Amino acid sequence: MRIPRFVPAVLFRLLLVSWLAAGLLPSKATLAQEAQPAPATAAAPAPDAADPLATLNQTIDKARRQLNSFADLAGKAATDDGRLVDLKAKVDDLGRTVLKSTVSLRPRLEEISQRLTELGDPPKEGQPPEAREVTEERNRLTDERGRINAITGDAENLSVDASALANRITEMRRKLFTDTLTRRSVFTPDMLDEASAALFDEIDNLSRATTSWINFVWRVKQLQLFFAVALSLVAALVLLSGGYRMVGFMIRRQPTEPDPPYISRLSVAFWSTLLSALVLGSFLGACYFFLDTFNVLRPDIAPILSAALSVIGLVYFVWRLSHAVFSPFAPNWRLVRVSNSGARGLVAAIVAMTVVNGFDYLLSAISVALGSPVVLTVAKSLIASVVIGFILVAMTFSRPLLADDGDPDAPGKPWPRLAAGLLRFAGCGLILAALVGYVGLARFVSTQITLTGAVLVTMYIGILSGKAVSRQNSFGGTLVGQYFRRRFKLDPIGLDQLGLAAGFGIYLLALLTGIPLILLSWGFQVRDLQLWAYRLFTEITIGNISISLVGILSGVLLFVAGLFGTRWFQRWLDGSIMARSHVDAGVRNSVKTGVGYLGVALAGLIGISAAGIDLSSLALVAGALSLGIGFGLQNIVSNFVSGLILLVERPFKVGDWVVTGTTEGFVRRISVRATEIETFQHQSIIVPNSELINASVGNWTHRNRLGRVEIPVSVSYDSEPHEVMQILLDLANSHPLVLHNPEPSVAFMAFGPFSLDFELRLYLADLFNGTQVRNDIRIGILEKFKEKGIVIPMPQRNLNVTLEGEGGLIEKVLAAEAKGGEEVHGRDRIAGRGRAAAAKADADGDAGHENPSPEGADRDRNKA
Q: Which of the pair, 78 or 10, is modelled with greater confidence?
A: 78
What does the pLDDT read at residue 47?
Answer: 46
> H helices then E strands: how many in the chain?
28, 10
In single-letter form, the type of residue at position 20 comes to L
H-type helices in 450-582, by residue range? Answer: 453-470, 479-488, 492-521, 526-538, 549-572
Q: How far is CA 277 from the centre of its chain?
A: 29
**N residues, the chain:** 864
Q: What letter would DSSP give residue 854?
A: H
b/e string for 607-632 if b means 16 or more Cβ within 10 A?
Answer: bbebbebeeeeeeeeeeeeeeeeeee
pLDDT of 488 > 80? The answer is no
Phi, psi of 738 (to 5 degrees): -90, 130
pLDDT of the residue at 840: 43
HEC string of 212-275?
HHHHHHHHCCHHHHHHHHHHHHHHHHHHHHHHHHHHHHHCCCCCCCCCCCHHHHHHHHHHHHHH
Report the Cα 63 to chain-centroid distance in Å.
42
Give the C-alpha separation, 854 to 716, whole Å: 11
Question: By three-state DSSP, how is residue 706 classified?
Answer: coil
Reported as a single tens digit per residue, the pLDDT across 291-348 is 988 888 888 888 899 999 999 998 998 898 888 888 888 888 888 888 888 888 888 9
> Which backbone phi and psi does 805 adopt, to 5 degrees?
-175, 155
Report the C-alpha gap between 573 and 219 in whole angstroms.
71
Give the per-residue pLDDT at 850.
Answer: 40
Which parts of 633-670 fold into alpha helices (H)? 634-649
Q: How confident is the model at residue 777 (pLDDT cuts 50, 70, 90)?
A: very high
Between 717 and 378, where is the model more confident? Answer: 717
Amino acid at residue number 427: G
Angle between helices 549-572 and 585-610 (to 10 degrees): 160
- Give the tens place of pLDDT for each residue, 23-60: 433 443 333 343 344 344 334 444 444 567 788 888 88
Encode pLDDT of 428-455 as tens digits: 988 888 888 888 888 888 888 877 887 8
How far out from the chain centre does Cα 389 lie? 47
Q: What's the rounded mean pLDDT across residues 371-383?
A: 82
Which helix (H) or strand (E) segment holds residue 163: the answer is: helix 132-182
3 state SS for 1-64: CCCCCHHHHHHHHHHHHHHHHHHHCCCHHHHHHHHCCCCCCCCCCCCCCCCHHHHHHHHHHHHH
Higher pLDDT, 14 or 161: 161
Q: Mention every residue, 6+ apart, whose C-beta is less than 8 A from residue 705.
A: 764, 765, 766, 767, 768
Band (472; pLDDT cuts 50, 70, 90): confident
Flag the least confident range among 2-6, 114-118, 173-177, 436-440: 2-6
What is the rounded CA–CA span in Å between residue 748 and residue 723? 12
- 705, exposed or middle or buried, with CB in 10 Å at 0-12, 13-18, 19+? middle
- How much of the chain exceeds pLDDT 70, in percent? 77
Lowest mean pLDDT across 10-19, 374-383, 667-676: 10-19
Strand partners, 659: 664, 698
CA distance to 705, 756, 800, 810, 862, per residue, from 825 (Å):
42, 19, 14, 21, 17
Q: How many other C-beta atoms lie within 10 A of the C-beta of residue 702?
A: 15
How far apart (Å, rounded) are the C-alpha atoms in residues 409 and 348? 18
Instruction: Tell me the pLDDT tens digit for each residue of 184-220.
Output: 777 677 777 788 888 888 888 889 988 998 998 888 8
Q: How far apart are CA 475 and CA 482, in angstroms?
A: 8
Report helix, strand and coil shares of the chain as percent, to nearest 5: 65, 5, 25
Better pLDDT: 20 or 586: 586
| Distance separating alpha carbons of residues 301 and 293, to the nearest angstrom | 14
pLDDT band for 798, please (50, 70, 90 cuts): low
Q: Is the pLDDT of residue 365 over 80?
A: yes
- Which residues lie closer than 8 Å to 189 by C-beta, 6 or more apart? none
Q: Which of 223-232, 482-491, 812-821 has the highest mean pLDDT?
A: 223-232
Instruction: Tell me how far apart the alpha carbons of residues 450 and 128 are, in angstroms, rounded to a whole number.
Output: 88
Averaged confidence pLDDT in the chain: 77
The set of residues, in sequence order, having a beta carbon less than 8 Å from that of 734 and lying 6+ positions away, is: 780
Helix, strand or coil, per DSSP, at residue 481: helix
| 183, 442 contact by CB (below 8 A) | no
According to DSSP, residue 665 is labeled E
Q: Beta-carbon neighbour count of residue 184 at 10 Å?
A: 11
Q: How many CB atoms lie within 10 A of CB 464?
A: 19
DSSP state at residue 401: B
Q: Which of 76-90, 180-194, 533-547, 790-804 has the lowest mean pLDDT?
A: 533-547
Q: Give residue-wise pLDDT tens across range 101-155.
A: 777 777 888 888 888 888 888 888 777 888 888 888 888 888 888 888 888 888 8
Mean pLDDT of 464-477: 77
Tens of pLDDT, residue by residue over 676-709, are 898 888 888 888 888 888 788 888 877 777 888 8
SS3 track for 314-340? HHHHHHHHHHHHHCCCCHHHCCCCECH
pLDDT above 90 for 779: yes
For residue 329, the tally of other CB atoms under 10 A from its CB is 12
Nearest Cα to 395, choosing from 322, 459, 313?
Answer: 322
